[in-house]
Structure 1
Amino acid sequence: MALKLCISTAANYIVKYLRAQLVPKIYSNNLYKIWRQNDLTPTYSTGNAKSKSEKKLVSFKESKRFIYDCFVASDVPKDHAKAMAGILASCDYRGIMSHGMNRLEMYMKEIKSGNTDPCAKPKILSETSAVAWVDGRHGLGVVVAEFCMDLAIKKAKKIGVGWVSAKNSNHYVVPALYCLRAMKQGLIGITMTNTSPLMAPKGAKHAILGTNPLSIGAPGCDDQFLFDVATTQVALGKLELAKRKGSTIPEGWALDKEGKPTTDVNKALEANNLLPLGGLEFGYKGYGLGAAVDVLSGVLSGATYSTMVGGRGKPKNLGQLFVVIDPCFFAPDFQQRLTHFNCLLRNCEVADPKNPILVPGDIEIKRLKQVEKAGGIEYTDNQLKTCENLANKLKVKPLQFE
């Protein structure tokens, strides 16, 4: 018994020492796996406290199947429907519930209205070995984004960097998922997009910028850095999710029609006035960042920008930027150095051991584990009802539960 205790204590000391002192040159994949196996990230709640028998869980595969069927039933080409299903289901799988199945009905309406052409294929307007200008031709944002990111990846592999600017695009869901395409090939991915006006900076009664999200992703040794953020306090989908749940929103998220802070989700959605990142006091930071995103995505590409961007039910002509960098053209051992960088962040001394410092992307990895352990994705009752209505309307097979 004493020997086992001694071995256990020694093992824990070694793991702690390696995580704190390890240098990039000797860092290996196995050591990061030790960190993962010790499960040093905190646990996050996946929803209400229903018993396992009461929960209606949907597998990732089934979620993709349902979304795919809905798009195909809406006359979307199969390859485009597959792309949309993969991205939306991945959002729910990664815990970004505001942007997955929650947005399916919105895309159906955009297609039906004629504002989005589900059959359109992106067209290269001009290009060099390093850059390209693309016309999305008012197609599905996901289709445009995957085309542009793949084009940037191709260029980066040849000369070290690829820069692709697109106009006439639409909502492309979550930026981070396109960075992952680059990261899987050992490359750094950067992307950003403008959106319909939703941000009202302090003092303004009306929105003048979109949520204008951006993402930066880089691969490590069995590790990653994947930052994804809206330049508003929250994305609009967070408000939509709050409405589905019938809950209020925190003060500092949004303004009402009079430009005053509100916790009433209905008043917030009616006004469509989200506060910039930083809130009422420091919102100038999010406002400046959101404006910078619009310059690089909307202004640069020839798309609409600021208040020129159409709202829901109107053609968007969004601008998007995709940048890929091959770290092999720079300092050696990038992935090892990034992994060491992440360990320095995670190993920071904290005030409360129950709340360790996380690296951007850690929460999504935790969510993936939770979904796998639970056996599926848990949707709100309101969302399941919406899916049931969609299935009846489009005459597709309803969602099947685990």
Structure 2
Amino acid sequence: MSVRIQANEMQEVLCRLFRKYGFTDKKAISIAKVHTENSLAGVLSHGINRVPLFIEYVTKGIVKIDAEAEKIDSLGSMERWDGNYGPGVINALKCTDRAIALAKTHGMGLVALRNTNHWMRGGAYGWQAANAGCISILFTNTQPNMPAWGGKDSRLGNNPLIVSIPREQGHIVLDMALSQYSFGKIQSYKLKGEKLPYPGGWDDNNELSDDPERILTKQRGLPIGYWKGSALSMVLDMLATLLSAGNSTYKVGLKKYETGISQVFLCIYPALFQDTDLQQKLLNEIIDYSHDVAPMQEGDRTYYPGERALQNSTFNKKNGMQVNETIWQKILELLD
């Protein structure tokens, strides 16, 4: 069962909730806005659905509500920051802003962050960079939830990768976990009582499964591209760990809860090339060519990365969001 919630109602309720659990007004507003915008984009798994778990992490002291990310080292266009186990959303917003500022000074800017918490939807920071006129390449490691190809137990994270490109008619924003489905998305299918459209991980019998319940039991996600996704996950973990001097997926996996993760925020400021019109023309050429194709199935069409998120946001702002009734009730109970 679901209920329809308007964006302003969701954001107002979440602001009140985060204030109740000790966040300052400024932080409560920022975190509520990100969760609401994630939900508007259709990514409920990393928006409203994630709120009860986030509050659990706050009450257990895993997320330090008063902690602030701080710069540890600076090397021109590159910096290292420590998140001090503060809220992942706040740390990510801050480090994205810093990477944008570095990019507008140097052409490129990189911020490597250690000791942070889950940033919810990584794509939120891709949109943030694109809105500021920057290309971005962002990624994070996670707890182990995916086997290295050929292995039985999870040794890799599903390490989300984000690439965003500013575009006048609608930004291009690729946001993908390196597992076939993020575990938040698998949880969403479980809440709806539905099977996955394609196999998303292994069950207890080491068989690929489309059953969310069976996959979630052991958290062994299927890498995108099989062995290729496995290799890409490992490399992103290496880069995030080395650049931030932080925890690897292995070290994160030694903790009882997923915390102390490592992230990278790389921004490029393409306006410095002074050929903005040409850049937009080239982007549109690629998109138009991809759109101009006969669909395999009647009624289908192709999309560029971020196009459906933009459509979802427009639709949901007008009509409200379909939110799982149990999740919404749980949030209201936390507020009482």
TM range (shorter): over 0.9
Residue in 1 that maps onto 2:101: 154
- CA drift of 1:360 comes to 0.6
**SS state of the match for residue 57, structure 1?**
strand
- CA drift of 1:233 comes to 0.6
* Structure 1 stretches lacking a partner, 5+ long: 1-47, 49-54, 396-402
Q: Distance in 1 between matches of 2:334 and 2:270?
A: 45
Q: Tell me: CA distance 1:194–1:378, structure 2 relative to 1, closer, same or farther (3 Å).
A: same
Which of 291, 305, 309 is equivalent to 2:248? 305
1:343 to 2:288 alignment: yes
Which of 302, 316, 320 is equivalent to 1:357? 302
**SS state of the match for residue 155, structure 2?**
coil
The letter for the 1-side match of 2:304 is V
Cα deviations across residues 346-374 of structure 1 (Å, max 9, x unaligned)? 22344446212211111111212321342
CA contact 2:27–2:90 (8 Å) conserved in 1? yes
CA contact 2:108–2:266 (8 Å) conserved in 1? yes
Alignment of 1:227-238 (within 5 A): 227-238=174-185
Alignment of 1:2-401 (within 5 A): 56-250=3-197, 252-278=199-225, 283-310=226-253, 313-314=256-257, 316-330=259-273, 332-333=275-276, 334-352=279-297, 354-374=299-319, 376-391=320-335, 395=336
The letter for the 2-side match of 1:82 is I
Q: Tell me: CA distance 1:250–1:335, structure 2 relative to 1, closer, same or farther (3 Å).
A: closer
Instruction: State TM-score, norm by structure 2.
Output: 0.93
More strand by share: 2
Q: Tell me: CA distance 1:315–1:377, structure 2 relative to 1, closer, same or farther (3 Å).
A: closer
**SS state of the match for residue 379, structure 1?**
strand
- CA drift of 1:222 comes to 2.2
The letter for the 2-side match of 1:308 is K
Q: Tell me: CA distance 1:198–1:153, structure 2 relative to 1, closer, same or farther (3 Å).
A: same
Q: Distance in 2 between matches of 1:231 and 1:364?
A: 19
- CA drift of 1:327 comes to 0.8
Moved more, 81-90 or 253-262: 253-262
Cα deviations across residues 153-179 of structure 1 (Å, max 9, x unaligned)? 111111211011000011001111111
Say what the alpha-carbon RMSD is for the aligned residues: 2.0
Q: Tell me: CA distance 1:268–1:180, structure 2 relative to 1, closer, same or farther (3 Å).
A: same
Moved more, 193-202 or 137-146: 193-202
Identical positions, percent:
25
CA contact 2:126–2:163 (8 Å) conserved in 1? yes
Instruction: State TM-score, norm by structure 1.
Output: 0.78
The letter for the 2-side match of 1:150 is D
Q: Distance in 2 between matches of 1:247 and 1:355?
A: 22
Cα deviations across residues 85-123 of structure 1 (Å, max 9, x unaligned)? 111111110001111111001111111111110111110
CA contact 2:80–2:243 (8 Å) conserved in 1? no
Q: Tell me: CA distance 1:306–1:372, structure 2 relative to 1, closer, same or farther (3 Å).
A: closer
Q: Distance in 1 between matches of 2:280 and 2:267?
A: 15
**SS state of the match for residue 190, structure 2?**
helix
Q: Distance in 2 between matches of 1:295 and 1:378?
A: 38
Mark the structure with the bigger radius of gyration: 1
Q: Tell me: CA distance 1:350–1:242, structure 2 relative to 1, closer, same or farther (3 Å).
A: closer
**SS state of the match for residue 180, structure 1?**
helix
CA contact 1:188–1:324 (8 Å) conserved in 2? yes
